[in-house]
A = this chain, B = another copy of it.
């Protein structure tokens, strides 16, 4: 494959080239990885900058409906929208692609929308790196807004936050007046909390939940990257398409302020450093999955388990073999 040519086609906005490029960065083959590195260098020259929007929400909060409504609104404004996902549990054969198409039926038919399911890998580190590169590819391809969604499972929010300019937390109205067990760490990551389903019977509950979270946000330590009144909580109704324009307005207010005050570029720089460290880590540990080391480790593990060799001795043997390989 001619990587330079592929990069040019991606930058020219060719959808099939973009899909092929993402498939390349998703590959675990060593030769593909070398090509992917070259590809990322090439597309980096486009100089384009999209707004990268992380979106977290547990199943049931109406995430797909939100993305569909919000995405369609942006498309009608003439914007190009890409939707990516970080879901370490997804499996392509399990119908993730089909799922994404039916989940966002209108959006998936738009020529200015690009929807790509999560890479099918059980290991979050692998999913993360590939999605991060897919984000940069979509950006180079001229998408104005890149939505990166995740279900709130384990570390996946951190991973999505580390590839987003803004991080949105989507919630459903709560029954009582209690916070929905959202972890403090997630609250501290959020730039905007959107309480969905502010329609029909649930509207009062949505407003109450929104007030609760607005209160909780005020208790969180002030962050330098926030202007006055941010982070903030709002209600939306994805089904009735209400509050979406207001939410989009707030996102732009925040993004513009950060751009003007240097925090936008600063965050991207820090994220690049974060991914550099993660890539090294991931590359180092992935050596252990390859033969002949994998078999050597399995054999030593049996001996360790039987007490024939200490864990420390066996580990030293593996590390020596790695060095000599």
Contact = CB atoms under 8 A, between A and B. Distances in A.
A133 interface: yes
A40 B307 CA distance: 12
A311 B322 CA distance: 24
Contacts of A315: 276, 279-280, 283
Interface in A3-56: 33-34, 36-37, 40-41, 44
Contacts of A305: 269-270, 272-273
A275 B304 CA distance: 9
Interface string A160-176: 00000000000000000
A285 interface: yes
A98 interface: no
Copies in the complex: 2
Interface residues of A, number: 42
A280 B322 CA distance: 10
Contacts of A318: 280, 283
A176 B310 CA distance: 47
Given A269-B306, A269-B307, A284-B285, A37 B276 contact: no
A300 B275 CA distance: 12
A259 interface: no
Nearest to A133: B312
A297 interface: yes
Contacts of A106: none
A182 interface: no
B283 A284 contact: no
A314 interface: yes
Nearest to A313: B37
A279 B312 contact: yes
A316 interface: yes
A92 interface: no
B306 A275 contact: no
Contacts of A319: 280, 283-284
Contacts of A311: 272-273, 275-276, 278-279
A67 interface: no
A278 B304 CA distance: 13
A193 B284 CA distance: 40
Interface of A: 33-34, 36-37, 40-41, 44, 129, 133, 269-270, 272-273, 275-281, 283-285, 287-288, 297, 300-301, 304-307, 310-316, 318-319, 322
9 contacts: A44-B310, A129-B312, A269-B307, A272-B304, A273-B301, A279-B312, A279-B314, A280-B315, A284-B322
